[in-house]
Every structure is written in C-alpha cells, then in structure tokens.
Structure 1
Amino acid sequence: MQKSVFSLLTCMKGLSTYYTGYQITGDEMRVAAPLLALSSYALASCSPSAGASDPRYVTEAVSYGDIRDIVPAIGEIRPAGQVEVGAEITGRIIEILADFDDEVEEGQLLARIDPAPYEAGLAQAQASLRTANARVRAASAERDNAARELDRARQLQTRGTAPASLVEEYEFDLVAHEAQLAQARAEVELAESRVEQARIDLARTEIRSPINGFIQDRLIEVGQTVSAAQSTPTLFIVSSDLTNVVIEALVAENDIGRVEEGLEVRFTVEAYPGEEFYGISGPVRRSPRENGRFVSYPVLIEASDPEQRLLPGMTAAVEFVHDEARAVTRVRIEALSTFPVGWCPDEVTDEDINSLPGLQTSEMTASMRCAAAIGTLGGQIVRAGQRRLFVLEDGRPVMHRVRVGAEDDRYVEIVDGDIRIGDEVLIRDRERY
C-alpha cells in the first residue's frame, strides 16, 4: 500500500514541474487545474503494467450502423387553427345552416338568431333619430327668430325709441336658444349612435364563420335560447384545414434540456401503426405541468398531413431527434474515455516535452517522463479538435486519433480517423477495476 502511494506521489511530482496550481505536500509539489482529464490518464500510467499478452482488455469491434439520440414524449393532435364561434347577443336560435364536419368558408352563414326583437329595436332607434332631427330644426328656427328680434331691438335703441334693457333681454334669449340648439344636435348624435348599435345587433343575429375550415363541433339546436348577458356562449367550434396540425407534446423535466426549437420530430398514432409522420418542434413553453411529483413542459410541434388522416384528439407518440446518423462507422462511447494502464506514447519526443515551460526530461524518472508525455500528447489532441481511442493490435493497445460526430447513449460516430470496421476497440481495462 505504501509503495502504491509513493508511486502516485512520484507521478504527481513529475506533473508539477509543468503545471502550476496548489501545493499537495511540504515537498513543494504543485498540481495544475487545466487538462484534468488528461492528467488522470497520466496518473493511471504510473501503475504497474500487466504483460502484453494478459487478456485483461475488454474490447468491442467497430461496427456499421445507426446512431439515434431521441427524446420521447406524448402529445395530443389538434388543428393548426381553431376558433370557438359564439353569440354576442341574447336570443332564440331559429335556423342552423351548418352541421358537424361541414366544410365552411370565411363569412359563411352558420346559424340565425331570431331577428324580430332587434329589427324592432332598430326601428325604434330610427324613430328616435327622426324626433331628434325635428328638435334640431325647431331649435334652429327659434334661435334664428331670437337673432332677428335682437337686431330690431338694437335698431330701435339706435333711434332712441327702445331702452337698453330690451336689448339685453333679447341678447339673453338668443344665448338660451343657441344652447337649446346645441342640446338638440347632441341628441341627434346620440340617436345616430343608437341606430348604429341597433344595426350592429341586428347583424349579429347572423352567426358567420370567421375562418376557412370545417365544423368540428356544434353545440346548439334549433329553438335553443342563448344568453350573452354574462359570458359569450359557444355555438360552433370551427377548425382550419387538417393539412396542417399542431401537437402539444409534454416533455419530462429531465429531458427538456435536450429539446430546442427547430428539431426534427417523428411521431406515430395508433390509428396507423407502423407509419411515421414528421414535424418540426416549436418553442418550449415555460409553464410547467405538474402531476404529483412528475413535472413536464409543453412543446408545440408543427406537422403537415396532406391526406388529412390525423384527426383532432389523437394521441401521438413523439420522438424529438436530438442527434441522428444512419449507416455510419461507430464505436462504443466508452472507447473515448478508456485509457490502458501502463501505456506511454512513443510519438512524443524529449524535444516536445522540453519545449514546454518548466519541463526537463533530464530531471525526470521514467514514470514522470511518461506522465509528461501523456499530458503533452493530450494537449495536442485537444487543440486539434480530435479525440483518441485505443485499438487492440497484436494483443497490445495502439492509440488512434479520430474525429467524432453524432452520438447517443451507447455509440459515437467516427467521421475521420484510421479506423476500420471490425477493429477491436478497447472499452475497458480490467486492471483498473
């Protein structure tokens, strides 16, 4: 045990000549924070190595197949556009002109409410308007007469035959008649607005479709009285054409971080088993849905169905395609993090190590030099945007640099590197466990 601890400290001392960080012991050994993962490889390499023919390696062959990283969810299909058509007035339904599943156009007449009360209201408002106009004419005539009387009084005053008090009296009468005329004109404006409101109410007895689509639901019968006194009653539900539908999918909170707007979406419905439909994910809504301890977030999905087979209310089993690659070269994802115990890179020279600040191979033991070489190589790989894995060749692990693409929870795609189908890639070193 003491020997193992001593070997580990010796390896860490070798790294401390290059990295700067915090002190570990009183011997002024310092370990750096950068490239922690690479340093772990170096520490592992300081352990004793098994023989080259020791069957300690667990491998898996490079394969050819698909990579699918998906996020599952469940959602309900609904039309892309849906409007509840209500009544803005109170009355009795006397005629229904559209029924379930009927195709309708914008502005098409769907039903009628008894117009008789509103026709009477319009006639009454129009009569009130005529009365108000008559008052305006009468007030205007009285104002004109008062103006003429005032002119005569002023002429008589000029001749000295009428007192000033008479002129003042006629001036007061003129002002009073002008006020009466203004009031009559205001009454005309009020009567006109009542006529306009009566016309609007009469027009509202005709229930018309606000959009092109079909009648998804009808909630009224002939003879039924609808009341709009407290809230607008719903008479019809009109949905837009089902060539475009929307799915509100509920995504679990542990998966929502992998869902974003614009992802490809696949979904199936029980009505058409084995057939896949496709859509595009919209924004993630921030309002959570809580069901006990289970929390989910709604995500809207836009999908196209030219044949209009998807019906409102169908349950869709949804897959958000986070990452996918078909028929690619792939390896187990563990291969990118597995490092064989006792391995030391041959391609890193003393010149490479000595070129780094604070590192001198002449002052290193063999294990320290190996640790420095692994750290140097790791830095080169990271800067090149590459990853590394080990292929078992003639019973010994040989490092290969690769570039990776899509990945899921099991495999990662190899997009560049000297890797062939069938190569045995190291995924575990039993000596490490």
Structure 2
Amino acid sequence: MTIAPRKRKSRRGPILLVALVALAVTAYVVKDRYYAAPTVTMMTATVTPGSVEETVLATGQLRPVKLVAVGAQVSGRITSLAVGLGDRVKAGDLIAEIDSVTQQNDLKKAEASLASVRAQRSEKEASLTLARQTLERQQTMVSQNAVARADLESAEASVKTTEAQIAALDAEIQSSEVAVATAEADLGYTRITAPIDGTVLAVVSQAGQTVNAVQSAPTIVVLGQLDTMTVRAEISEADVVHVTPGQKVYFTIIGDPDHRYDATLESIDPAPASIRNDSDITSSSSSSSSSSSSTAIYYYGNFNVPNPEGRLRTYMTAEVNIVLGRAENVLTVPAAALGNREPDGAYRVKVLNTDGSTDERRVEIGLNDKVTAEVKSGLSDGDKVVTGEMTAAQRAASSSSLRLGRGGGGPPPGM
C-alpha cells in the first residue's frame, strides 16, 4: 500500500501580512511625525482708543528767506574788501571797493563835454540877440524904404537859423547830462554796498582780484537773511494731489531729530523745476518728452519758519511731514488687520471670538497712516482682530532669533 506524501503548509502568507502591517504602522508614524498639518496660532490685536495722524512725507532743503548774490556792475581791480565770512551787515554798508580811476576819468570827460556844449549855447544865445536886433532895424528901415527887401529877408533867416542851432545845442546838452549821470553812476558802482540786511554766507572774490563785468555781473559775496528760513519740500506727483496750502506741517533736521519745528504750508509750485530745461518750450523738438517720462516728478511746497537762535543753517536737509488729517481719542486698529479694500471703501476684518472661532466683519475706516487706522464703524472697544497667522515652526524661529539677538550672534558674555 502506497502512502501519498503530505503537503507542507506555506508560511509566506502570514509573513507577508505581518510585513504589510509593519509597513502601514511605519508609514503612519512617519506621517504623524513629519507630515502632520502644522498647528497655526492666530496673532491678534485689541481695538483700543488712540490717536491717528495721516501725513505726506517729503524731503526739503532749508534756505534763507532772502538770498542775494552781491556782484560788481563795473570792471576793475578790487582794492578793498570790507567784510568777512559770517559778518552781519546792514543795507547800505560797504562791501567792497573797485579801482575807480577809469570811472573818474570818464566822469571828468562827460562833465567837460557838457560844459563845452553849454558854452556853445551861450555863444549862440548872444548871436541870436544880435540877429534879432538886426531884424528889428531892418524892419524899421524897410518901412521907411531905406533898405532893400532882400536885407530884411536875410535878417529873418539869420534869426531862424540861430534859433535852430540853439535847439540842437539843447538836445546835445540833454545827451551830455545823461552821459554825466551815467559816469556818476559807474563811479558809484565802484563802491559795492549791501542791498539787504543779512549775513555774509560766502566770499567769492578777494581783494586784489580783477573782475570783468562786460558779459555778466561777477559775484563778490553772497548775503542771506537767516532770521527766517524757507523750506522747499519735494512732494511727489502721487502725493501732491492730496496737499493744499494752509495745511499744518512739521519737520526735523538730521542733526537734531528729536526737535520738531511746526509751520504752515504756504504755497505749492504750479510746475516742477524741470520745466526750465524743457526743450519743447524753446524749440519745436519733442524728443525730450519720451526720455523725461521715466524720471520722478516732484513739486516744491514752500513754507517759512522762524530761526531766532540760528540753529537752522543754509542748505540743511529737512524731513517734512505734511499733515493731511489728525483724529484724537478714536477707536484704532492695526493696519495689518485690514483686508482688501472693497469698491465702496470698506474693509473686511477677522474678529476672534471668545470660543476661539472667527467672524468676518465689514469695517469703515477713516484716517490710515499705514500702521494704525481709525475705526469709524464695525468694531467695538476691546474687540480682538486677527493681524496674521504663525505656525509652531515660525514661533520657534522667532523665539530663537530673539534669544540670539538681532544680529544673530550668541548669548552675551557670562551666559
């Protein structure tokens, strides 16, 4: 009797099942540890009363309210300079003197010419008197038929000729008087005096230097009135539409940023300074219009500020704030909490409820300085608004950077 061999039971099935289970467990652990959705924490801020000021920022330059370049109107050598850098002068004070020999000689020539013409006129007046006497005698003698009529006509012509010569000399006298006045003025120009009260800001020409005033007036010194300074602030074309004269302004200077100077905007230039170089004004060429379109356009806003202590100096840089509006004791919210602006001007804001849920509210905003915004409606005092979201990894990175410091260096010595 033949006995059939027993089949061996296969173990592959259980092993495969165990392997699959282990793989699933491993995948779950890996997913849970490395691919789990990060926990998100909402960053919030509380709606509180406060102040909001909306301003336009501009960079300005300080200049004296009056700035005058005192120049020479005649040519010559500067014989003396009566002022120095930083001196204060009054209107009419002597600034400099120019060698006046040439101007004195020109005046003497003009006066001599005038005297000569006046002497000629005196001579002609005597001739006219004689001619008139001769005419009277001729008229008497003609009435008595003692002389010919031709002699009378000759006497009349002599009177008229002498009168015309005197009239011509009168015109020459006027011309000579003008020449004398011009020579006197030129002589006076050799004494250069201050046209305004002010301070000597620059000495351009020195004693002994020769100046030539034929084509242009050479500058001797520059005077400025420093008791009042003018600020010319560059306002961009994007901001100038919101700015009008009469608005409050304040500014600081680089050397003293903690001191605030207050003033009122007085005027805005109707065109940018670049219009002076616009070739379309002086020629028919329009090729410059395309090249200038890529440059920034600025309009100057002007205002004055008292400078009694002289702390503000010429050409200092001023960081100017033009106040568009200011609200005191109003509800405020961080600008970061505002969503996109809707067509009617309202914003959507997320509000965190006490149970941890969030609601979206429609909020009307007033002034907004890009950091803090004025709430007109839609929120109440104490509401918590969502300003952003932060994951656990971001919180850890932020905490680490705070411990290390802004520069990323290690802990301070001794830690």
TM-based fold match above 0.5:
yes
Deviation at 1:333, TM superposition (A): 6.2
Report the equivalent of 1:284.
268
Asked if the contact 2:340/2:348 (under 8 Å) is kept, the reply is no
**Quick one: distance in 1 between partners of 2:309 and 2:96?**
30
Letter in 1 for 2:314: P
Deviation at 1:193, TM superposition (A): 1.4
Report the equivalent of 2:233.
249
**Quick one: distance in 1 between partners of 2:76 and 2:147?**
66
Deviation at 1:153, TM superposition (A): 1.0
Deviation at 1:270, TM superposition (A): 2.1
Deviations 1:300-342 (A, max 9, x none): 2322232211111212222222223355431356989899xxx
Letter in 2 for 1:181: I
TM-score (norm 2): 0.69
For residue 312 of structure 1, the aligned residue among 296, 304, 314 is: 314
**Quick one: distance in 2 between partners of 1:136 and 1:128?**
13
**Quick one: distance in 2 between partners of 1:291 and 1:233?**
37
Report the equivalent of 1:189.
174
Report the aligned-residue RMSD. Answer: 3.5
Report the equivalent of 2:282.
none
Asked if the contact 2:232/2:303 (under 8 Å) is kept, the reply is yes
For residue 409 of structure 1, the aligned residue among 336, 358, 370 is: 370
Report the equivalent of 1:153.
138
SS, match of residue 275 in structure 1 = strand
SS, match of residue 259 in structure 2 = coil
**Quick one: distance in 2 between partners of 1:287 and 1:253?**
10
**Quick one: distance in 1 between partners of 2:43 and 2:210?**
79
Deviation at 1:269, TM superposition (A): 1.9
For residue 275 of structure 1, the aligned residue among 233, 243, 259 is: 259
For residue 423 of structure 1, the aligned residue among 368, 376, 383 is: 383
Asked if the contact 1:90/1:226 (under 8 Å) is kept, the reply is yes
Deviations 1:9-33 (A, max 9, x none): xxxxxxxxxxxxxxxxxxxxxxxxx
Deviations 1:176-211 (A, max 9, x none): 111111112222212211111111111111111111
Asked if the contact 1:79/1:239 (under 8 Å) is kept, the reply is yes
**Quick one: distance in 1 between partners of 2:59 and 2:328?**
25
SS, match of residue 80 in structure 1 = strand
For residue 295 of structure 1, the aligned residue among 294, 297, 306 is: 297
1:217 matched to 2:177? The reply is no
**Quick one: distance in 2 between partners of 1:87 and 1:58?**
70
For residue 214 of structure 2, the aligned residue among 229, 234, 241 is: 229
For residue 93 of structure 1, the aligned residue among 78, 82, 86 is: 78
Letter in 2 for 1:256: V
Q: More deviation in 98-107 or 299-308?
A: 299-308
Deviations 1:343-372 (A, max 9, x none): xxxxxxxxxxxxxxxxxxxxxxxxxxxxxx
Flag the 1:249–1:291 CA change in 2: closer, same or farther, 3 A. farther
Residue correspondences, number: 327
Deviation at 1:142, TM superposition (A): 0.5
1:124 matched to 2:85? The reply is no
Report the equivalent of 2:88.
103
Deviations 1:251-290 (A, max 9, x none): 2222222222222222222222433223322322212556
Flag the 1:218–1:276 CA change in 2: closer, same or farther, 3 A. same
Report the equivalent of 1:140.
125
Asked if the contact 1:278/1:304 (under 8 Å) is kept, the reply is no
Deviation at 1:415, TM superposition (A): 6.8
Flag the 1:306–1:88 CA change in 2: closer, same or farther, 3 A. same
**Quick one: distance in 2 between partners of 1:426 and 1:338?**
14
Letter in 2 for 1:73: A
**Quick one: distance in 2 between partners of 1:248 and 1:256?**
14
Asked if the contact 1:132/1:188 (under 8 Å) is kept, the reply is yes
Asked if the contact 2:117/2:169 (under 8 Å) is kept, the reply is yes
**Quick one: distance in 2 between partners of 1:230 and 1:192?**
26
Q: More deviation in 102-111 or 116-125?
A: 116-125
Deviations 1:44-83 (A, max 9, x none): xxxxxxxxxxxxx997521233323222222221111101
Unpaired runs of 5+ in structure 1?
1-56, 340-381, 429-433
Asked if the contact 2:339/2:347 (under 8 Å) is kept, the reply is no
Asked if the contact 2:340/2:347 (under 8 Å) is kept, the reply is no
Percent identity of the aligned residues?
A: 29
Flag the 1:140–1:413 CA change in 2: closer, same or farther, 3 A. same
Letter in 2 for 1:130: A
Structure 1 residues 32-51: aligned runs within 5 Å: none
Deviations 1:145-186 (A, max 9, x none): 111111111111111111111111111111111111111222
Flag the 1:272–1:418 CA change in 2: closer, same or farther, 3 A. closer
Asked if the contact 2:128/2:159 (under 8 Å) is kept, the reply is yes
